[in-house]
Structure 1
């Protein structure tokens, strides 16, 4: 490192966005190794349950991370211009443990997969992030086989919300959101089948991107529901999402669901608002199944967009039969998910988490006619939403019906209805997943005393640029942001169940 460059506050850097870390490494303010060591120290301090941590990590890859960081520093020292130009240069990141990581088993949150052979190579998206300069630090906690919305994993222990450790982090990619909110890493990967990126983004107060179905290849990840599974990034800023998304784009023939489509970078477009943007605030189901905090967050985002440059109109809109679309997603999830695990359900039922096992067993017993009808509803709903895109460019809706419930909550109350907590946290994300639209979840603060809640920004297929540009407008306006949680952790004085 150049002696004439002033020292940088590495702890402050770790609390910031990934793109600022990459710039600091590129400019010689900090080495990739120093940044990696500092992030690993954060994980050692803030993650272990025994130390009162968040329990986001299931494997920490110290040796690998240091090797990757040292290789970057060596190339920079040799004057390698290509390395210096990498968009995620030296950025520490981590991945949900359903991604293949060379040398360790791909757990998918389960006990059963601990007996599997270690992955022979990294999953494709990990290889693409490494090519962009990112440094892998850890694998992350999740709901078993991605079937859940809370990451209360009985095998690895519950992941805890960094903003209040008594609360859930959301799921199934809870570790992916919690690691960012805890200040351990600025960038992570997760999966979203029915809301598993957007739910933990909302409850932990970070940014999350669920791309269009088929946009990013799933090669080298453990499947859940092939016709619904999406992979995507979490980040501390809109720009972080865009840089990661750009690095991961590109067709892969090994994933039958991956669409052969030209790479369409978005990072360079973020600061250019769209002219004439027509915004629709989703009502009906999205209003009725949300509490006052969730509604207030949507109202705040709607008002900020109303005042934003390039926005032509903001008005209420409705999608028809949303409840049926959600029911269709439930049925499809049950059946496709169960089909993957039939052998283990017969041979090792005791090694499943009880709730996952029971849902899979239910899916295995559903009549075929129900599944056929669910697919019909799904196609019908997709056509209705596509028609609404003729005069609306961007839809907004709550990402979760309430702020994070307490770990162990059996029930939540919404609009006077007592509902089972675990499935109901995803009540607002499932209908959108069902039809594969791109969504950016943005974190809103200030509508609740000390907890965040997210808002979904939804656009037409392949318009990731639109949801990310809208997210950036909100970020510039100060309406959304993703601060690192206080450490040592907050001691809450609130009631045990927030909704």
Structure 2
């Protein structure tokens, strides 16, 4: 079996485990694909070629020696460049961080991937300091959408989505504060998972907004998404918000599909400003699941506004010294948002944090009646590179500020969400959020698998 014939993470791991393929051949084929096309796509900022080949050799030796083998044996992957990678500066999409000393150890989730047998190919482009929805980086260039390179890959995990959508790697890791996994997954026609806040440790990653930051994977199939999520789980005391939860292996759970789950569709706020294609995608998903009931998520607009306040306040506080020392080294758009955040009254931040408890209780009431709620992942499909505005409710509004209108209220209270692509033949994809109660990633992935089986992501 040739490496070029292997596309999925599970497929690669099985072939390498059986000896039908070598991890080194798989890694070399992936590196060749990156060399051939990433100049057009812009997914990678750093390629860890020597490390990848060394890790692949170690995988092959372990297999040949009959040693215990991990579930991601020989699977190539890459990470958003806010993950610490030994020997690389942790850029976090910035010019400033690129001048800092290289990381002396891998981020914890990178360590877990390596322990599972995965092979790291490099670090991926992202919006500066993760404050972005477009994937257009002023320092390293845009991450382009492999489905149409004239369009955005989305942000801030744009490189993470582009690398998977281009076929460079079957899985990647990103982060999501206000929608930075879900929006790129939607634009690039991928599956993404934003787990419950506190489910996966953020140890060894560069922060954006500590009280909203999540980490999670991208994949081209739900089975691969579950496979990598299972590897990433586990408590770590170094991240104070990482919860002590049992590790729940979901690779087998997805086969259950939607059976027994109560599914509703978000209405009101979540239908008001989406373009017709986004609503059609949501309706297709609802129909495939026989989800006829519509629910109103109360005060969603306030939740989005509060998320903005918290993001601005915490982000600006984190970067205040950099803003004072080297303001010209920021992307001007990012710098101006941080400067605005630095001037927010403390009382507004406190009120926004208090409202989290109110909104959390309202969502808990909804999940007493429903197991899963569907909503759009973004109001549009992928915009054009360089586009500055989108039409929302018949008005042209700033693109960056409004691309997360449907994701921000959900991450505001840390709910788990799977992003599922819905695509009509010949069209760009849209994304649907599959939202569940805290710690019910199994519900997200079961419904995502049912939608995948319904064939809604036709090319």
TM-score interval (norm. to shorter): over 0.9
Residue 235 of structure 1 is matched in structure 2 by 219
Partner of 2:21: 30
**SS at 2:262 equivalent:** strand
Match of 1:138 in 2: 122
Distance, in Å, in 2 between the alignment partners of 1:154 and 1:409 is 14
The whole-number CA distance in structure 2 between the counterparts of 1:134 and 1:423 is: 36
**d(CA) in 1 for partners of 2:160, 2:367:** 31
- Structure 2 residue 355 is matched with structure 1 residue 362: no
**Length-normalised TM-score, structure 2:** 0.98
**1:377: how far off?**
2.1
SS at match of 1:446: coil
Alpha-carbon distance between aligned partners in 2 of 1:99 and 1:217, rounded to the nearest angstrom? 12
Is 1:258 equivalent to 2:242 in the alignment?
A: yes
Number of the residue aligned with 1:198? 182
Instruction: Give the SS at the match of 1:93.
Output: strand
Matched, 1:75 2:62: yes
Which ranges of structure 2 fall in alignment gaps of 5 or more residues? none
Map Cα deviations across residues 147-180 of structure 1 (whole Å, 9 max, x no partner). Answer: 0101110100111111111111100000000001
Residue in structure 1 matched with residue 360 of structure 2 by the alignment: 382
The yes-or-no answer on 1:463 pairing with 2:440 is yes
Instruction: Tell me the CA shift for residue 274 of structure 1.
Output: 5.2
Instruction: Describe the SS at the equivalent of 1:44.
Output: helix
**Is residue 170 of structure 2 the alignment partner of residue 177 of structure 1?**
no
What is the rounded CA distance, in whole Å, between the counterparts of 2:346 and 2:121 in structure 1? 43
Alpha-carbon contact 2:424-2:456 (below 8 Å) kept: no
Q: Please give the secondary structure, in 1, of the residue aligned with 2:349.
A: helix
Q: CA deviation at 1:75?
A: 1.2
Does 2:31 correspond to 1:40? yes
Q: Which residue of 2 aligns with 1:244?
A: 228
Tell me the equivalent position of 2:202.
Answer: 218
RMSD: 1.1
- Does structure 2 conserve the Cα–Cα contact (< 8 Å) formed by 1:94 and 1:140? yes
Confirm or deny: 8 A CA contact 2:258 2:450 kept in the other structure: no
Contact 1:442–1:471, Cα closer than 8 Å, also in 2: yes
Q: Distance in 1 between matches of 2:8 and 2:445?
A: 16
2:81 is equivalent to residue 97 of structure 1: yes
Alignment of 1:59 onto 2:46: yes
Q: Do 1:36 and 1:69's aligned partners in 2 also have CA atoms closer than 8 Å?
A: yes
> Any stretches of 5+ residues in structure 1 without a counterpart?
1-7, 307-312, 484-499
Q: Which residue of 1 aligns with 2:402?
A: 424
**2:22 aligned with 1:10:** no
**Residue 90 of structure 2 corresponds to residue 106 of structure 1:** yes
Q: Alpha-carbon deviation of 1:450?
A: 2.3
For the residue of structure 2 that corresponds to 1:213, the secondary structure is coil
Indicate the residue corresponding to 1:4 in structure 2.
none
Q: TM-score, normalising length from structure 1? A: 0.90
Contact 1:32 1:69 in 2 (8 A): yes
> How many pairs does the alignment contain?
459
Does the 8 Å contact 1:103/1:118 carry over to 2? yes
Alpha-carbon distance in 1 for matches of 2:98, 2:167: 28
Q: Is the 8 A contact 2:56 2:119 kept in 1?
A: yes
